[in-house]
Amino acid sequence: MPAYKSIVILTGAGVSAESGVDTFRDKDGIWSKVDYRDVATPEGFIRDAARVHEFYNQRRRGMARVNPNAAHAALARLEREFSGSVLLVTQNIDDLHERAGSTKLIHMHGELGKALCQACEQRSPWSKDMSALSQCPACGAVGYLRPDVVWFGEMPYQMDRIYAALADCDLFVSIGTSGNVYPAAGFVEEARLNGAHTVELNLEPSDGHSSFNEIVLGKATEIVPAFVARMLTAR
């Protein structure tokens, strides 16, 4: 394997699935049971904020029962031991990457463990249930909090920083993502246009698998640690 200097890694639901975190788009995923328009759009929140709050309260409670797996740990190891730069961009709203030790991380779809105040626009850590009676820790306003999660129709976070990293990297790795959610699905082409080698690590080929130079299929807890070990051996 060539020696790389700058790596951008995109992770999706497949990385956390083996920790017991529910996926969204699989055949039996969350969106097969719940209409996303009711719980993951600004319009749904306006229509029935209590329902949206309870949906995310349940997911927040569930996070307390799961732990990082070997894939999360391997990516944290790569960040620690790789001699070049590593940026981890995740579509996941859980905190398993952080709990495994990753620090150079962008949550492009927000974080389940944060609240966004629509009065002062500040983000605050949030681990308990949220409701229309919740008070903003930053400004004290009541009734303005929402989950700090990017909903359908909203712009993902830190896109300028992500595109700058894609333009500069020489290796792009996509792990555990379906490849059908934009703008993340277009990252591989962005990296390729700038000359990066592209690798997909996935349980099965993504919708955009033909854009990758290299594909490794298998369980994330097996193929991600093996890939990281190979990267670090090739230094």
Q: Mind telling me the catalytic residues?
A: 109
Alpha-carbon gap, residue 182 to 5, rounded angstroms: 27
Q: Are 99 and 68 in contact, with CB atoms under 8 Å apart?
A: yes
Strands of 43-92 (E only): list them. 85-90
Tokens of 141: 């306003």
51: closest CA among 62, 61, 40? 40
Give the DSSP H or E segment for 126: none
Tokens of 196: 């990066």
Strands of the chain (E only): list them. 6-11, 85-90, 105-107, 110-117, 123-125, 145-149, 171-175, 197-202, 214-217
Q: Hey, what's the torsion of the CAs at 106, 39, 68, 225, to 10 degrees?
A: -60
For 6, other C-beta atoms within 10 Å of its C-beta total 17
Q: Are 219 and 18 in contact, with CB atoms under 8 Å apart?
A: yes
Is the dihedral angle over the CA atoms 100, 166, 115, 129 positive or is it negative?
negative
